[in-house]
Amino acid sequence: MTEYDYWKIFPRMPRKVTLGDITVRDGFQHLEKFISTRAKIFYAEEMIFAGCKNIEVTNLGNPFLMPQFSDAEQVLAHLRSGRFRERCAKKGINIDDVCITAVTIREPSVDKAIELRKKGVGPDRLLMMVSTEEEHHFANSGCTLPQYWKECERAIRKCNDAGMKMCGTVSTIWGSPIAGATELKDAVEFTKRWLEIGAADIEHADHDGSASAPQVYRYFSMILDEIPDTRVHIAHFHETKRVASASVLAALQAGITHFEGTLGGMGGQPANFLDDCPVPGTGDYYYEDPRYVGLTCLEDMLVQIDEMGIEHGYNVNRVLWLGRQVERTVGHRLRSEAVINGRTLKEGHPKFARPGLKKLKEKLGESAGQNIPADWGKEAQLPEKFKK
């Protein structure tokens, strides 16, 4: 007989997950429009109120390169304020249970985070990133891989001494938008290197939507065979071919318990134009059409996981409402289907029913709930040629 219990088929699949939100950083960095400080604070607050425990809110890199984050200190200061702490407490949220992350691709950004920490407004967690493909890595950091690894080693030491954690990101796991195919084994090795030099956790990133479900399952199975502590691993998928939901499912089946995404599926390479002016960003875009670039859509991923019966800790309806609001903030339709079509409701949508069914059944002498003719057998009799 076929096994029908999903968790018996995939025994490593979790029954509870963590979904991190990176809208305010990764989502907004791709936009060619400055998002106000007030809006950034609003979405950070509201995602925390909706149940988010891991949130990435800014980039501490040079604001000349990425002016979208010129307000980094203001955003962090608000989230550390007594007023916000009190608002959280009134909603039953202990803000100390929420991990606030800022991206620090280079060592000077780590130094900046440490200074902010001394002022009482620094993040809990920082993030640095390597790509297994060196051309992609150089495009993002301006460094060779060996040069950058040594910088990361120094930065992690500083970070840990200051009481913060460092997340090490491994990118181009399933392919590079610059050099093409990559080897999964290289990403496994890079993951070990991060942990060797003191990283607290690892973001496993598909930064250009190259991943396919079989390769995702294969990779995360390799990772968990080598490093079985699921608390260390975060799955980060981008969406360019409308297959990221399959990658999420494959990662779940492999046993991954921590994912991240953005409202509306926003995000991608930092903008090189903001409002009315070109800005450096990270150089020329390596994609053809910005409409088809972005991260896993948080709203849709949340609905997917919720309807699988996996615990997640979010107020789903509140997140869907926020998804609709962020479309108004950015000024155009984003990529979530769930914010339009909602969840699959057990009670259905009676308002769409065609009038007259009850009267017609009464006229035909059919009872309520009768679905087959009265003179048919109680159960279907399968023809011999279709029996096993």
Tell me the C-alpha distance between 131 and 187, whole Å.
Answer: 8
CB atoms under 10 Å from CB of 137, counted, come to 22
Q: What is the dihedral of CA 4, 8, 11, 17, to 10 degrees?
A: 50
Collapse the DSSP code of 127 into the 3-class scheme (helix H, G, I; strand E, B; otherwise coil) and give the result. strand
Q: What is the pLDDT of residue 125?
A: 98
**275 vs 22, 63, 72, 166, 207, CA distance in Å?**
22, 15, 18, 32, 25
Distance of CA 55 to the CA centre of its chain: 10
Amino acid at the residue 15 = R
> If you ran DSSP here, which 8-state letter would residue 297 be given?
B
Which tokens is 184 given? 């999964």
Question: Could you tell me whether strands 201-206 and 165-171 are parallel, antiparallel, or unpaired per DSSP bridges?
Answer: parallel
Maximum CA extent, the chain: 82
Q: What is the pLDDT of residue 290?
A: 78
Tell me the C-alpha distance between 185 and 237, whole Å.
Answer: 18
Tell me the C-alpha distance between 378 and 227, whole Å.
Answer: 54
Handedness of CA 73, 75, 81, 85 (dihedral sign): negative
Mean pLDDT, 10 residues at a time, over the chain (388 residues)? 90 97 97 97 98 98 96 98 97 97 96 98 97 92 95 98 98 92 96 98 92 97 98 95 93 98 95 96 84 92 96 98 98 95 86 93 95 94 91
> Closest Cα to residue 202, out of 248, 245, 244, 152?
152
Q: What is the pLDDT of residue 228?
A: 97
Handedness of CA 122, 123, 125, 126 (dihedral sign): negative
> Closest Cα to residue 145, out of 137, 157, 136, 153?
137
> If you ran DSSP here, which 8-state letter would residue 65 be given?
T
Residue 260, strand partner residues: 20, 236
Where exactly are the structural domains of the chain? 6-341, 354-386
| pLDDT tens digits for range 222-278 | 999 999 999 999 999 999 888 999 999 999 999 999 999 999 999 988 999 999 999
Q: Position of tokens 């840990």?
A: 160
Q: What is the pLDDT of residue 207?
A: 83
Report whether 175 contacts 182 (CB < 8 A). Answer: yes
Which tokens is 217 given? 């399952």
Q: What is the pLDDT of residue 42?
A: 98
Tell me the C-alpha distance between 58 and 44, whole Å.
Answer: 10
Residue 259, strand partner residues: 19, 235
> Closest Cα to residue 17, out of 175, 246, 253, 213?
253
Task: Answer left, alpha or beta for residue 180, where phi above 0 means left and psi between -120 and 50 means alpha.
Answer: left
Which tokens is 182 given? 């990559």
Question: Could you tell me whether strands 273-274 and 277-278 are parallel, antiparallel, or unpaired per DSSP bridges?
Answer: antiparallel
Which tokens is 34 given? 């400055």
Q: What is the dihedral of CA 148, 132, 59, 156, to 10 degrees?
A: -50
Collapse the DSSP code of 7 into the 3-class scheme (helix H, G, I; strand E, B; otherwise coil) and give the result. helix
- What is 6-341's CATH topology? TIM Barrel (3.20.20)
**191 vs 117, 212, 213, 251, CA distance in Å?**
27, 20, 20, 16
